[in-house]
Structure 1
């Protein structure tokens, strides 16, 4: 439809709202010093909102001097004013608004039964307010869990927290997490956290709920033991004990053994000592944290979650990430020469290369979103290289996204993986025909990869995507 046909009509409605001409609705928004009266027209509000249509049709709509009167102390005047403008003009400005404002606006749309606006605000929040989740995840989650209509936002933020577990887990925030939200997170198979860390965080949370109980479980009284067991009981079935090693169990779980039901303790002993069980309890291993699914000598599941975020594009999402990072080459198993690399990795589509530098704790590698087949330079804006200063700390990763996109990837059957163009005696990251590695900054930023190095091992993973509908 030609905008000229309706833009004038919308302008007239905007003028009607601004002029307050013939208004018959007074809404007292906010409270205290922030309280303000807003004026509207019942016909417009009834047409646009089921909430107001019901209100004006029922006895609970208060009338004063022939005008409808509403009190909305829980909705600020600024938010209600924006909603009224939307109801009159069909538009709302969110680009300059803070995350807190948008979240409060979303709550107001739920109260006023403005489903379409609520969907729009959720989409906007997801697209532009991701950092707000990191700043105050608990406040956001508490609000989302209080409103059943926020399903899109709830699903999105839970997925983000599962992929970026350090937003909550391992921080002071975990102690303040409501039990319902914690239970929801622990139920999920895609929580990117080693199972022993899930247990450690759960113990931290339980102590926070019972601050009078002594830290050392060996010093608990019977009353303290009963109190802690009661607090923890609903979460015990959510722990995948079969993904906790015997050493981790001995050091971290065994001190709390009397918090576990006796039947579960016996099942765990059978798992470790007899070895005829593959799973303890009813829940399978988490998708990202199953050590049996992730066959790697170098990285753990947290790296996969991080790589997935680095690779993320608006038109693509990784599905069931551990199953879609398929190991196709391991140097210590298959060989460190260029022929083996191309035999195993050509025509496999996107791949990620991971190498452990010899006699250090450093990990290097890169992502090729194309393939390794042929003899040519390949252009892409999506490739990157990376360096982890310590293999024990996934948060120590540095990423270098390609700058000279036309020289992002080099394919050469006589060489192993080649990232970036050749200059200063090397590509940005490369393995020669005999398994020797070098690096010189050219097409990618300098992230301090060593100039020349050997590796203990290297692995190549095929990355499988699905297209988002």
Structure 2
């Protein structure tokens, strides 16, 4: 029978480190004036780290009076103590460290080739310190990018930024991002940002590199050449065909002098010629595209998760539905007849409406159809929602399945308590309690609303 006394063994080695008995290594950690001597034992360091083994066996560490001397100005005394303590007793405590300190610790253990900690610290950062990426996304991306062993953290950072690109694109340090990293990001199909914003971000970055103002009327031929060269590698990565016509005209076409002329010609043809398809060699859309004037494509994963009653939002590349625009009130007619002409016999739909004079959006989901006249349809899967300023989101699934959806020829969407009378005058009655109270006005005017067919992929 074998017995294990690992706790006692670990404790004994920690005592050895603290007492420094028989030490033969002196490490000068940190920079002046904060340099601190740390004493250790070469045999223990060698057996736990290939870095120290190489340092002592190849004699590139200085040796004086029988003791090895190492100087590590790039690692603070505090962090080096944490590392040495782990080498001796196998224990490490990270909870008292802030995100930037943990990242510095990760850099240090990678340099010292302590692979157990490289994996452990990455896992800790991902699980417990996700907010650290918000503090300095550019610096963190570049740090992680430079280390091949930080694979898990690299993937996490990329996915996090692709899910919430404002973390990076709205950062003051965005313009300091290195070109290879920006190129890598723009290649991502899951970058969750409208293409026009990506284009504007690229321009901001480019003008900062060239120290130029964003005013084409003031550019010289030399300026234009500089910008063209700076943008050249990125232009093929922008999905110009996914940019709305108005944005193309006001935010892209005005830069025609710095864009390839064949690209400008093809885009003009695409926007002007009816039913003109994009060229076959263009990149696919980054994410499922929502042909909406009311909400951005970033809402698709959220809507899809509501439809499937998921607790968390779908990933961009794993959405099981297509959202096909069926009806837009300011395009097709603000009346019940136009609504039913476009939306009957289409199956499940989701509708979105903007309340006039506000940023408030309301909407609902009908998993059945809009066929029929003056009839209630039964379902337990319908819902309504209320979005204020794009942040305050309320969702309510049907309370009374027998009064989930009402179909009437003269009305638009009629989802229990919330309904369109056929014009832009809408009503919401909470006394019936068909759905939870969503804090929507009782009577209000709609500026525009859209209906999308939900197609299972």
Structures share a fold, TM > 0.5? Answer: yes
Which stretch of structure 1 is more off in the superposition, 79-88 or 456-465? 456-465
* Match in the other structure for 1:235: 234
Distance in 1 separating the partners of 2:8 and 2:365 = 52
2:399 aligned with 1:410: yes
Corresponding position of 1:271 = 270
Is the 1:28–1:38 contact (alpha carbons within 8 Å) kept by the matching residues of 2? yes
The residue number in structure 2 matching 1:348 is none
Counterpart position of 1:244: 243
- Aligned equivalents of 2:365, 2:61: Cα separation in 1: 61
TM-aligned CA deviation for residue 183 of structure 1: 1.2
Structure 1 pair 137–8 and aligned structure 2 pair: CA distance change class (3 A): same
- C-alpha RMSD of the superposition: 4.1
Q: Deviations over 1:408-456 (max 9, x none)?
A: 8635132249xxxxxxxxxxxx73396653459x9x9998543555766
Residues 180-219 of structure 1: matches in 2 within 5 Å?
180-211=180-211, 213-219=212-218
How far apart are 1:182 and its partner, in Å? 1.4
Give the TM-score of the pair, scaled to structure 1.
0.75
Equivalent pair of 1:330/1:457 in contact (CA under 8 Å): no
Provide, for residues 245-285 of structure 1, a one-character-per-residue CA deviation record: whole Å limited to 9, x for no partner: 33322222222212123333333344334554424754221
Corresponding position of 2:68: 68
**2: CA distance between counterparts of 1:314 and 1:124?**
27
For the pair 1:100 / 2:100, whether they are aligned, the reply is yes
Rounded Cα–Cα distance in structure 2 between residues aligned with 1:185 and 1:89: 41
Counterpart among 428, 437, 444 of residue 437 in structure 1: 428
Across the two proteins, how many residue pairs are aligned to each other? 415
- Residue of structure 1 equivalent to 2:360: 362
Cα distance, 1:98 vs. partner?
A: 0.7
- Note the residue ranges of structure 2 that are not aligned, 5 or more in a row: 329-337, 367-376, 407-414, 421-426
The 1:133/1:123 distance shift into structure 2, 3 A limit, reads same
Q: Distance in 2 between matches of 1:132 and 1:10?
A: 32
How do residues 278-293 of structure 1 correspond to structure 2 at under 5 angstroms? 278-279=278-279, 281-288=281-288, 290=289
Taking a change above 3 Å as real, the CA distance of residues 90 and 309 of structure 1, as seen in their structure-2 partners, is farther
- Structure 1: unaligned runs, 5 residues or longer: 346-352, 378-382, 390-395, 403-407, 418-429
Distance 1:86 1:448, change over 3 A: farther
Deviation at 1:125, TM superposition (A): 0.9
The 8 Å contact of residues 362 and 387 in structure 1, kept in 2 or not, is answered as: yes
Q: Distance in 2 between matches of 1:129 and 1:310?
A: 28
Match of 2:391 in 1: 397
Contact 1:318 1:464 survives alignment (8 Å): no
Aligned to 1:423: none
- Give the Å deviation of 1:244: 1.9
Relative distance call for 1:411 and 1:68 in structure 2 (3 A) is farther
Write the deviation string for residues 16-41 of structure 1: whole angstroms up to 9, x where unpaired.
11111111211111010221111111
Deviation per CA, 1:356-414, whole angstroms, max 9, x where unpaired?
2553542135899xxxx98889xxxxx9965224xxxxxx4213589xxxxx8635132
